[in-house]
């Protein structure tokens, strides 16, 4: 059963969060949000970011348990912007028909995204980089469409690219080619961000700046000065690397060819190196942004948030490269934050989500998180007393949450004639990373008493996977047939609640535990 919030305790917690946003200045703080693309933490995705770790992590709080509610770009980004689960913002996948930057999105959720709330609070707003995968397509208004709430808009048309792309600069298309100095996208975004900061004075309104880099998404193109870094590195040989999923995994994993071909392993290793190389340019971006904030005397009154839209895998369960799976490598991402009143050089174990980013930004800006948002502001966790109050899994913070993916399949699989319709993303060697029946909903539970992942598939098998992640962090062993029926019934009931929740009902802490019966 869900526990009721203690109103006095809730008031005190929220007030402690509000004090964070006003500790160092009587003026409103600035907010900078840097978002990477497909950056994992399980496979060492933070390793190349030495300057970022120093400039943000060591000056603030790092969250070891940051999760996305969907391991796919457009659904996750839509959740980041709206603070809502997929079933509320309805961007189910990366296609226009699936809700990505669709007319329905533009007419509804986009008008209630974080930028619109912060703008109403008196902020000057700036966006540069990848927005949503289908942004700027002719069917959805082209680059002339500028999402509401943004004063300055430099939006990438379509999906991540490093060269040969089009930017919408305040609604005007700007084409770029393949010359490093004038076109490498991560650096172009850095220049736009630094220029915007340099234009702000101490007398300017507070600003909210979001920079969404292409790194480390495909096509994994590093800047020329970094093309030879990490030459001896390989994709981490985790326990699940080049491992057969076995009969206890869902259909897609069961049918993944095993062992991996040498060419697939080599491709995974090459992609791993190039992903890290692209992140070195992100590290430069963070460094230059912080320097510009410092030079302009904004740094001490600015919150800087760093995160990613989803994780990634490279050879886990013999899948060469992608995301979209329910496992930890695809749903865990980095998150760190620094700013006035935030603890310095601390690590938090509290579970936070991509749907928490929007309400956090709104409250940092001095507003109240809208009731329509399913996430919760993490401000109470940024002070020592807020973090300690979470330990023990009490009513102050969540202990479980929803993770979903809606699988996609193609009618024609180009270059793979042996494959039947219904699968997609078949690369390399015709190994498929997604399918129509790769559709699932999960309850991820994380507290002092439980560390579990329970998932139900929407397929003809009604397949179920259950992992005790504390004992089995690589999720090698599906224990669904070993636990008590009562435990499974409770997990199913909780999944139904979360899959239909909205606002307050999504934010309620849940503390009931049932013995596994092992």
Residue with tokens 């992942």: 453
Residue with tokens 């989500």: 353
Task: Classify each residue of 61-75 as buried b or exposed e, where b means 16 or more C-beta atoms within 10 Å of its C-beta.
Answer: bbbebbbbbbbbbbb
Nearest to 446 by CA among 364, 348, 330: 348
- In the chain, how many H helices and how many E strands? 15, 18
Virtual torsion, Cα 114, 327, 50, 190, nearest 10 deg: -40
Nearest to 316 by CA among 251, 266, 244, 252: 244
Structure tokens at 133: 């995968």
Classified as helix, coil or strand, 506 is helix
Within 10 A of 382 (CB to CB), how many other CB atoms are there?
Answer: 27
Structure tokens at 513: 């535990």
Quick one: which H or E segment has residue 387? helix 384-390
CA triple 315-320-321, angle to 5 deg: 105
Query: What are the catalytic residues?
Result: 73
| C-alpha distances out from residue 407 to 10, 42, 87, 98, 438, Å | 38, 23, 15, 10, 5
Q: Counting Cβ atoms within 10 Å, is residue 420 exposed (0-12), middle (13-18) or buried (19+)?
A: exposed
CA triple 280-281-285, angle to 5 deg: 120
CB hemisphere CA count around 349 (13 angstroms): 10
SS (H, E, C) 111-149: HHCHHHHHHHCCCEEEEEEECCCCCCCHHHCHHHCCCCC
**Which letter does DSSP use for residue 421 in this model?**
B
Longest CA pairwise span in the chain (Å): 66
CB hemisphere CA count around 492 (13 angstroms): 12
């Amino acid at each position: 059963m869900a526990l009721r919030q203690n109103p006095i305790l809730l008031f005190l917690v929220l007030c402690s969060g509000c004090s964070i946003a006003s500790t160092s200045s009587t003026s409103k703080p600035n907010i900078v949000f840097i978002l990477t693309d497909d950056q994992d933490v399980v496979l060492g995705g933070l390793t190349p970011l030495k300057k970022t770790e120093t400039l943000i992590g060591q000056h603030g709080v790092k969250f070891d348990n940051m999760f996305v509610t969907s391991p796919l770009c457009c659904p996750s980004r839509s959740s980041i912007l709206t603070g809502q689960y997929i079933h509320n913002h309805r961007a189910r996948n990366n296609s226009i028909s699936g809700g990505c930057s669709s007319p329905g999105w533009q007419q509804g959720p986009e008008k209630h995204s974080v930028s619109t709330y912060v703008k109403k609070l008196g902020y000057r707003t700036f966006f540069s980089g990848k927005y949503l995968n289908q942004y700027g397509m002719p069917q959805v208004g082209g680059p002339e469409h500028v999402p509401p709430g943004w004063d300055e808009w430099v939006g990438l048309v379509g999906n991540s690219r490093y060269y040969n792309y089009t930017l919408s600069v305040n609604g005007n298309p700007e084409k770029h080619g393949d010359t490093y100095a004038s076109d490498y996208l991560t650096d172009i975004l850095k220049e736009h961000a630094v220029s915007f900061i340099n234009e702000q004075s101490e007398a300017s309104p507070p600003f909210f700046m979001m920079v969404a880099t292409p790194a480390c998404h495909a096509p994994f193109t590093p800047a020329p000065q970094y093309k030879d870094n990490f030459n001896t590195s390989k994709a981490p040989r985790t326990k699940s690397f080049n491992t057969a999923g076995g009969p206890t995994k869902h259909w897609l994993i069961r049918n993944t060819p095993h062992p991996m071909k040498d060419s697939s392993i080599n491709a995974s290793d090459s992609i791993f190196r190039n992903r890290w190389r692209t992140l070195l340019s992100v590290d430069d971006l963070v460094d230059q942004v912080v320097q510009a904030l410092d030079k302009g005397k904004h740094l001490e009154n600015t919150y800087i948030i760093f995160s990613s839209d989803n994780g990634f895998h490279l050879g886990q369960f013999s899948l060469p490269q992608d995301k979209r799976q329910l496992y930890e490598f695809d749903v865990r991402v980095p998150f760190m934050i620094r700013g006035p009143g935030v603890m310095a050089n601390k690590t938090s174990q509290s579970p936070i989500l991509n749907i928490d980013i929007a309400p956090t930004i709104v409250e940092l800006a001095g507003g109240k998180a809208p009731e329509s948002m399913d996430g919760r502001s993490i401000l109470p966790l940024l002070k020592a007393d807020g973090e300690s109050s979470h330990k023990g899994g009490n009513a102050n913070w969540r202990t479980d949450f929803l993770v979903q993916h809606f699988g996609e399949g193609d009618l024609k699989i180009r270059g793979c004639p042996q494959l039947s319709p219904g699968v997609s993303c078949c690369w390399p060697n015709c190994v498929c990373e997604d399918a129509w029946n790769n559709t699932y909903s999960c309850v991820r539970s994380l507290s002092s008493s439980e560390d579990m992942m329970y998932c139900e598939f929407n397929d003809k098998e009604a397949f179920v996977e259950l992992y005790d992640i504390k004992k089995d962090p690589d999720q090698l062993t599906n224990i669904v047939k070993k636990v008590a029926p009562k435990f499974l019934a409770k997990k199913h009931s909780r999944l139904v609640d979360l899959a239909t929740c909205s606002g307050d009902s999504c934010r309620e802490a849940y503390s009931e535990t049932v013995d596994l019966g092992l």
